[in-house]
Amino acid sequence: MVQKKFEKICKSISTISPFIRFVGVIGESGELLAYNRRHELIPMLSEKDTHYQFSHIAMRTDLEGYFDKNLGEIEFVWEERKKVQTISFAIKKARVWVSIDKKVIRSEMLRIIDSCLPIVKNSS
């Protein structure tokens, strides 16, 4: 049941914009629970580095939870890197992680975020 829910989230988010490269749901231990990748793309990270990235996200999610009582829960995190942009959203102890082409303008990023928020909130 939970697996189907995560697959549906990935599918829904991946259809928001043609600039979305990858959508994944990462569990609290860093495991990839569901994902959707744009077909024609070659991943930027090796399998090993992907595992490290997801483990890092899981650890960071756990640490961020420490401040939830005082600051409120995180709604999303947006990172801009040299080659890609990422956004992540919390669903309880899991994290939805989305990578987007670097060339996307800020207004499109905001549209993607605004479109993702109701999908994630309906799943929380």
- What per-residue confidence (pLDDT) applies to 1? 66
* 2-123 fold: Beta-Lactamase (3.30.450)
Cα–Cα dist 25/57, whole Å: 11
Cα–Cα dist 77/91, whole Å: 13
62's CB contacts (< 8 A; 6+ apart) are: 28
- Give the tens place of pLDDT for each residue, 5-39: 999 999 999 999 999 999 999 988 888 899 999 88
pLDDT at residue 82 tops 80: yes
pLDDT at residue 62 tops 80: no
Mean predicted lDDT score pLDDT of the chain: 87
Taking residues 99-117, report their average pLDDT: 95
